[in-house]
Amino acid sequence: MPLSGALEQHAANHPTNPAFHLEDRVLSYRALTATARRLFAAFSNLTPEGRSTIGPQNRLIAIATGNHALFPAAFAAATAGNNCAALIDPHLPEPVRRRMIEKLDPDLIVTADGRDLLARSPRDGNSAIIVEEVSLDAPPLPEGNGDDPFLIVFTSGTTADPKPIIRDRRSWRASLATGAPFFGIDATTSTCAPGPLAHGLALYAMTETLLAGGTFHSARHFDAAEALKTIRCNGVRRLVLVPTMLRRLCESDGAERVTAITIAGAKLTAADHALCSKTFPGAALREYYGASELGFITATAPGDPASSTAVGTAFPGVRLSILDGAGKALPAGETGTIFVESPLVATGYLGAGDGAGLARFGSLATVGDLGFLEADGRLHLLGRSGGMVLSGGNNIYPSEVEAALLGLPHVRAAHVFGVEHADLGSELVAVIEPGGAGLTPDGLAAAMAEVLPRYKQPRRLWLCRAMPVTPSGKVEAKTVRQWVVEGSNALERLF
């Protein structure tokens, strides 16, 4: 069932049941649906027809509220009927957000205005303030066509800015219909996913919970102590987290009523598994491997042993293949590129893209990840495409960070890469060659904060007065990385 239809049904049958809980505010299913109806009417009045980059048949609405109590109402309204939602993280640097908006050219932009929401047309400046509603007097939310675009999310790419990925309703409906029984989600499920709702992990967890009629718990910002308080006080049974969040929660006494934990974004270590079992003894732990472009790919089963490379077996409805560079299928145990045949694959990127990421070969699709299959169908993930670094559950392309560093004053060359980190999975570090005498630690940190979100800023950084280069003029990465590992005198630690 589409989300719009499910909300209408829950509002009619269980109007007072809690739907969305954000710290001190609780939205019932009646209030959520009533507010979404009012938002949909406001969107239609402000922009009668779409004029954005996705075409006149669909109204494109950019949501830049962050984790807000009325976010689920905005999301439901912005994906109902012929609407398409584009999610923008308000914590990204302002210049990046501005370029994202320019690329989208949306019909409307929704931002937070204290406890309320502001919907504004960037073309004519018309706007409307939307407050929380409880009266269901506006027309019901309409359902959208399955083949139409309904969602644009951004993922880090090899270019300087995040790449917009377009999804149609059909792929998400298929995913949600399969995922509910697989993860055991129903109306009694209370889920806490304290990550950013502008990103896929928490957004999907919210949607599957609301679709089932359960209660979803969010947070403006992740804080382990506050999250545990929410879990304990509200009887939360299911957690959806990245590994770093799980580790933070395990630093305190757990909550024995938690029965399920879903992890994505990076691999858990054997120590993580042991700590989770101790802190949440009654929780069935699952890890899943997926990509924004491909949806779910594989998932582990509760009780599977910890592994540095094994990521489980194919998600229901997904078929895995390992192909070599010539497109030939490889036998079990041989490493190649991971391909999927799946109804969950996204439509593609908005615009021309950068030549990296999602690629299709007939019915198969890939994002370039490397791995191998065991004879029993268990997948091992050995590398990420484009040298992507997974740090704290975030996908980071070093080339993106390098491009940002090279755009800063007094930086002549840069090399960015990930090193193993016990907590984050990988830690982002950088070596730069200064272009003059004006480079200071405080100045560089401030400049990076202007162009990179916090999680993409290198945690350790060295200066190299003369970067080693290859005959073609590129930074000789192997030598630079060796210098970092060895603590070479060729480098000077900046911070």
DSSP code per residue over 289-326: EEETTTEEEEE--TTPPP-SSB--EEPTT-EEEEE-TT
Query: Which uninterrupted H or E stretch holds 65?
Result: none
Q: What is the pLDDT of residue 157?
A: 46
Q: What is the pLDDT of residue 9?
A: 97
Q: What is the pLDDT of residue 383?
A: 65
Residues of the chain with pLDDT below 70 are: 156-160, 352-355, 383-386, 470-474
Q: Are the C-beta atoms of 62 and 106 separated by less than 8 Å?
A: yes
- Of the chain, the end-to-end C-alpha distance in Å amounts to 52
Q: Which amino acid is at 28?
A: S
Q: What is the pLDDT of residue 469?
A: 76
Q: Are the C-beta atoms of 448 and 96 separated by less than 8 Å?
A: no
Per-residue DSSP letter, 386? G
Nearest residue to 342 via CA among 185, 227, 170: 170
Q: What is the pLDDT of residue 172?
A: 94
Q: Which residues have a Cβ under 8 Å from the Cβ of 372 and sit 6 or more positions away?
A: 322, 330, 332, 333, 334, 335, 336, 379, 380, 382
268 three-class SS? coil
Q: What is the pLDDT of residue 354?
A: 59
Backbone angles phi, psi at 134, to 5 degrees: -125, -15
